A = this chain, B = another copy of it.
Amino acid sequence: MPATPIARPAAETIQAVVRELQAQFGNRAVTSQAVREQHGHTLTWLPNQPPDVVVFPHTTEECADIVKLAARHRVPIIPFGTGSSLEGHVNAPYGGISVDTSQMKAIIAVHAEDLDVVVEPGVTRKQLNEYLRDQGLFFPIDPGADASIGGMTATRASGTNAVRYGTMKDNVIALEVVLPNGEVIDTARRSKKSSAGYDLTRLMVGSEGTLGLITKITLKLHGIPEAISAAVCSFASVKDAADATILAIQTGIPLARIELLDEVQVRAVNLYSKLTLPEQPLLLVEFHGTDAGVAEQVERFRAIADDCGGGNFQWADKAEDRTKLWQARHDAYWAALALKPGGKGVSSDVCVPLSRLAECIDATKKDIEETGLIAPIVGHVGDGNFHVLPLMDENDPAEVAKVEAFMGRIVERALAMEGTCTGEHGVGQGKMKYLKAEHGAAALALMAAVKHAVDPEGLMNPGKIVAG
């Protein structure tokens, strides 16, 4: 049973909706072209499809009011966090109301004894960690961008720390959600685990706003490690770096982060961040633990790296040195873009079983060469997840077509290796076309049946994941 296809609402309907929103929200309901376009922006080649109106709620009740209003008029709802989506999640292909949660930024309760926190969806990960620091606690998920917790939940985000701390799937304890009918539910209690029925929390995590509007998130926290050490280490080939990664993980070293940069990405980072890293494949690793524990991890990792031909170790035990290294890593996207001034980049994020990673990256590098692209690679290799960022002139249709075909081949290659088309960015609009190949028709039909059951009118973020 496919989700009900939806049509763009009539102009009069939108006018009525805007009138009602402005009556309730005043200048928190905005229809200016600039604000609407900013809310339909994409960091990709996907076209900007602005919503009809952007509204900035402050409370769950206001969110429920907006959803009920939308249901009454059969107008789409598009949840919006910080807009750092890479797959057009915030686009409004059928128009409608963009619900910008950026003014819902309260950190409602920190339960230090329980290692959890309850936040509103507009809280960003950096804001949260600054708030928590004095209590010796931190929230580990780090997708690079200073994304909102609501957005990270909706896309099942992960990033550099996931190899140790898991993804949003593993770190969300409970959610408050406004359902498409305007009812507000809690998906779970605050206890660490439960077997009480269907896992509504995990149903919502990664549902990209297509099943409801997230209004509160209870997250797991961790104690800030007593000792942190980071290092970079160069390898002759991507294969050697991947082998070192596999061995380190198999041996049980509890790596907090292990990131691969290929030689193209290292060159980009050197140029952009004024570093002098050897322009070879490189692993950037971080260890968390007690002083003695970190020392032991470092020693073991070093032995493994040596066995795999790793060299040029550079350590960063001091916070400022680590920050500089990780800033360079986080700037990898911008550094890559700088390799082709005026160019546009599109980021793939396939994920394969670790044992297939080297093979998958090698084949991709060969493809890059044969296709004649500039396409740096950076990866959360401990999870088998890597990004390729082909650069292109978006005004050159032939180049765009070439890159699009290349991106498709990356996904095909990952799927053939028991992998997924998206390890962390989500489906949005950009990856809908791959879901049938990944999941098969029957599983995709099951997703559509669930969507239809939860959102029979098809109003929640239509045109994403499974919608008609």
Contact = CB atoms under 8 A, between A and B. Distances in A.
B198 A450 contact: yes
Contact of A423 (B158, B191, B415): B191
Nearest to A352: B191
Contacts of A169: 193, 199, 202
Contacts of A199: 156, 169, 199, 202-203, 205-206
Interface in A367-392: 383-385
A421 interface: yes
B198 A207 contact: yes
Interface stretch (A32-40, A246-254, A340-348, A396-404): A246-254
A440 B186 contact: yes
Contact of A170 (B157, B170, B435): B170
Contact of A1 (B162, B447, B453): B453
B195 A157 contact: yes
A116 interface: yes
Contact of A355 (B111, B434, B439, B444): B111
A192 interface: yes
Contact of A197 (B158, B383, B384, B427): B427
Contact of A251 (B116, B195, B223, B249): B223
Interface in A120-171: 155-158, 162, 166-167, 169-170
A239 interface: no
A412 interface: no
A351 to B, nearest CB: 4
Interface in A191-249: 191-200, 202-203, 205-207, 211, 222-223, 225-226, 246, 249
A292 interface: yes
B296 A195 contact: no
Contacts of A184: 442
B194 A465 contact: no
A9 B196 CA distance: 29
A195 B453 contact: no
Interface residues of A, number: 94
Interface in A414-455: 414-415, 418-427, 431, 434-435, 438-440, 442-444, 446-447, 449-454
A443 to B, nearest CB: 4
B250 A196 contact: no
Given A443-B200, A446-B200, A158 B193 contact: yes
Given A115-B249, A442-B184, A383 B447 contact: no
A254 B246 CA distance: 23
A48 to B, nearest CB: 23
Which of A179, A203, A352, A426 has the most C-beta atoms of chain B within 10 angstroms of its own C-beta?
A203
Contacts of A426: 195
A438 to B, nearest CB: 6
A383 B418 contact: no
A195 B423 CA distance: 5
A431 B197 CA distance: 10
B447 A354 contact: no
Contacts of A449: 453-454
A465 B198 CA distance: 8
A311 interface: no
Contacts of A424: 193, 195
A177 to B, nearest CB: 9
Contact of A155 (B1, B195, B447): B195
Closest 4 CB pairs of A and B: A453-B453, A202-B202, A113-B355, A194-B420
